[in-house]
Chains A and B, each alone.
Chain A
Amino acid sequence: MNSKNTATIGYGLLLLALIAAPFLGAYPVFVMKLMCFALFASAFNLLLGYTGLLSFGHAAFLGGAAYVAGHAIKVWGLTPEVGLLLGTAGGALLGLLFGWLAIRRQGIYFSMITLALAQMLFFACLQAPFTGGEDGLQGVPRGKLFGVVDLKSDLVMYYVALVIVVAAFLLIVRTIHSPFGQVLKGIKENEPRAISLGYDTHRFKLLAFVLSAAIAGLAGALKTLVLGFATLSDVHWTASGQVILMTLVGGLGTLSGPLIGSAVVVLLENKIGEFGNLLAALTSVEWFKTLGESVTMVTGLIFVICVLAFRRGIMGEIIAWLAQRRAGNSAKH
């Protein structure tokens, strides 16, 4: 069995599981939230894993688009598909602006600039009248898709969200395997060489940045539609840190990594309180009960461990293991 077949079977099983999930007892809203973060992380990975640019400001695109979509649907009374499109466009526009500014500097400065710009947007959102400040934008109605399909039912919303997320993910896969994606990889490996081959690397990087921001925006807009609100926590820098962690845990520069990584991180944040209680019951150390309130501590620890000892991430390790086994098998024959 070659690697392509293994991957196809893996994705097929994942898709089947997602289609069947609501009937297997999974809570649709939670799975939708997971899918939004998976898409967000995949968009981020397009930039970090395949272009080599560490954006530390991706929360701006997620959160900014969440506000745009929420405002468009709630205040302007637009239909959900228009809200999603406007959110995506908002993300793309912000991405164009951030990218255009940040690409002027290389390496670590690029990360610092994107972080600072995102923080600027955070403060702007904190003060702007239409974001609802600390309370956020509440009570965004789901409405009717194309004015026909009522999204009020979680089940209908679920399948619409699934189609959107799968389509966006396929777009990312297509991009990575296109000639454009190959150029991005070339820039990641050796930028001076790409320049000497005649590629305008600035333009390629900017395009990748805008694409990544747009898809992150789509994820944010979809999240607003699903949950019915947009809050400051989506624009906060910790959300940018979170998406880095998701990608790192899952596996940088692997297509499936962000999907797995986002599931791991979101599940961890939701279940860590229960895990702490379990540990407290097992070890009778009372302190473990506070674990639920100290998610940041655990995330920090995972970050440190990942960077020091586990840089390939979950999927990176699995892929490397499969490749090694295959090499071992063919050597025997």
Chain B
Amino acid sequence: MEIFGVSLPGLLSQLLLGLVNGSFYAILSLGLAVIFGLLNVINFAHGALFMTGALLTWMAMNYFGINYWLMLVLAPLVVGLFGVLIERLLLRWIYKLDHLYGLLLTLGLTLLIEGVFRSIYGVSGLGYDTPELLEGATNLGFMIMPNYRAWVVVASVVVCIGTWYVIEKTKLGAYLRAGTENPRLVEAFGINVPVMVTLTYAFGAALAAFAGVLAAPVYQVTPLMGQNLIIVVFAVVVIGGMGSIMGSILTGLGLGVIEGFTKVFYPEASSTVVFVIMVIVLLIRPAGLFGKEK
């Protein structure tokens, strides 16, 4: 069976690959939105934290023989702790300043982190094997589905939905949302807002690292793997707007799929399609698909 001259299995496998990319967009833009909501900082270092998660996974396997599944928990923990340090030691000093200093500080942090890893590992890709359990592919009849890719999509969606649930439906989430609206009032109710801010940043960092672990077997692990990704995620955030958690998730996945289709039908545009969509959205709905202009 063919659609516009492309075989259906080929199309579906590109679609799956698009969903994989979309999962990373979703997790990262979700983290950016949560951090921005409470800290008013656009975390440029998100890409570097993603890369750190992937590289830690590679290092753990090669130096200590720690397997993938353990790193799926350990890497977010380690990077989360690193996030605590970043927030406590650096970001804390600039909340009262203009937004742009947050972007500049995290940009500097990105260059610093990437520079350190680059001086050790260079820029060539490091391979990471797919965990044994998820090797191979399943024949679904209409397509051959690589197990690992399916796992990435499922795991990401579960984590995203879980985050959405915690923020929108639980008491903890209610504090968080209230803190986004009016931190001083929340503090007056006896909630320790500075700790909440620290934990929020750590959580966002841990999410990025989780995506990094998922990405290690899919992409080549390099110190620069987060750079281009973070810029695309910025475009995703502009398209979706940072007002809604579900909006971030859907926009991320949707754009991944569109990118996947573009790879099939017009490969030359696959690296720019997200930016083109951003331009179109800016023309039609400047506040973003799910955004509210303040």
Do A300 and B278 form a contact, CB below 8 Å, given A108-B99, A119-B231, A294-B118? no
Cα distance, A102 to B270, chains bound together (Å) = 22
Cα distance, A303 to B118, chains bound together (Å) = 18
Q: Are A297 and B275 in contact (CB under 8 A)?
A: no
Complex partner residue of B119 from A113, A293, A299, CB under 8 angstroms: A293
Q: Are A303 and B104 in contact (CB under 8 A)?
A: yes
Interface of B is mostly: helix
Q: Which of B136-191 contact A (CB under 8 A)?
A: none
Contact with B along A288-306 (1 / 0, CB 8 A): 0010011111111111101
Nearest B residue to A309 via CB reads B93
List, in ascending order, chain A residues with CB within 8 A of B276's CB: 120
Contact with A along B220-239 (1 / 0, CB 8 A): 00000001100110110110
Flag whether B10 is at the interface (Cβ < 8 A). no
Q: Are B111 and A296 in contact (CB under 8 A)?
A: yes
Contact with B along A111-144 (1 / 0, CB 8 A): 1110111011001101100000000000000000
Q: Are B103 and A116 in contact (CB under 8 A)?
A: no
Q: Are A241 and B111 in contact (CB under 8 A)?
A: yes
Q: Which of B207-251 contact A (CB under 8 A)?
A: 227-228, 231-232, 234-235, 237-238
Q: Tell me how many residues of A have a C-beta within 8 Å of chain B.
A: 41
Q: Are A307 and B94 in contact (CB under 8 A)?
A: yes
Q: Are B109 and A304 in contact (CB under 8 A)?
A: yes
Interface of A is mostly: helix
Flag whether B199 is at the interface (Cβ < 8 A). no
**Residue from the set A101, A107, A295, A300 with the largest chain B CB neighbour count within 10 Å:** A300
Nearest A residue to B237 via CB reads A112
Do A300 and B104 form a contact, CB below 8 Å, given A107-B99, A115-B231, A116-B231? no
* B214 CB to nearest chain A CB (Å): 24
Contact with A along B273-294 (1 / 0, CB 8 A): 0011011001100110000000
List, in ascending order, chain A residues with CB within 8 A of B113's CB: 300
* B248 CB to nearest chain A CB (Å): 14
Q: Tell me how many residues of B have a C-beta within 8 Å of chain A.
A: 44
Q: Which of A210-249 contact B (CB under 8 A)?
A: 237, 241, 244, 248
Cα distance, A54 to B100, chains bound together (Å) = 7
Flag whether A185 is at the interface (Cβ < 8 A). no
List, in ascending order, chain A residues with CB within 8 A of B103's CB: 54, 56, 108, 111
Cα distance, A112 to B29, chains bound together (Å) = 13
List, in ascending order, chain A residues with CB within 8 A of B99's CB: 107-108
Flag whether B262 is at the interface (Cβ < 8 A). no
Cα distance, A302 to B36, chains bound together (Å) = 24
Residues on A close to B: CB < 8 A?
A: 54, 56, 101, 104-105, 107-109, 111-113, 115-117, 119-120, 123-124, 126-127, 237, 241, 244, 248, 290, 293-304, 306-308, 311
Flag whether B82 is at the interface (Cβ < 8 A). no
* B229 CB to nearest chain A CB (Å): 11
Cα distance, A248 to B111, chains bound together (Å) = 16
Do A123 and B238 form a contact, CB below 8 Å, given A300-B110, A302-B108, A303-B108? no
16 contacts between A and B (CB under 8 A): A56-B103, A101-B282, A119-B231, A123-B271, A241-B111, A248-B104, A296-B118, A297-B111, A297-B119, A298-B115, A300-B110, A300-B111, A300-B113, A300-B115, A301-B112, A308-B90
Cα distance, A289 to B141, chains bound together (Å) = 57
Flag whether B268 is at the interface (Cβ < 8 A). yes
List, in ascending order, chain A residues with CB within 8 A of B227's CB: 237
Closest 7 CB pairs of A and B: A303-B108, A297-B115, A300-B111, A300-B112, A120-B275, A296-B115, A104-B286
Do A111 and B100 form a contact, CB below 8 Å, given A105-B282, A300-B110, A303-B111? yes
* A270 CB to nearest chain B CB (Å): 17
* A213 CB to nearest chain B CB (Å): 17
Nearest A residue to B111 via CB reads A300
Cα distance, A115 to B274, chains bound together (Å) = 13
Q: Are B234 and A300 in contact (CB under 8 A)?
A: no
Q: Are A297 and B231 in contact (CB under 8 A)?
A: no
Q: Are A244 and B104 in contact (CB under 8 A)?
A: yes
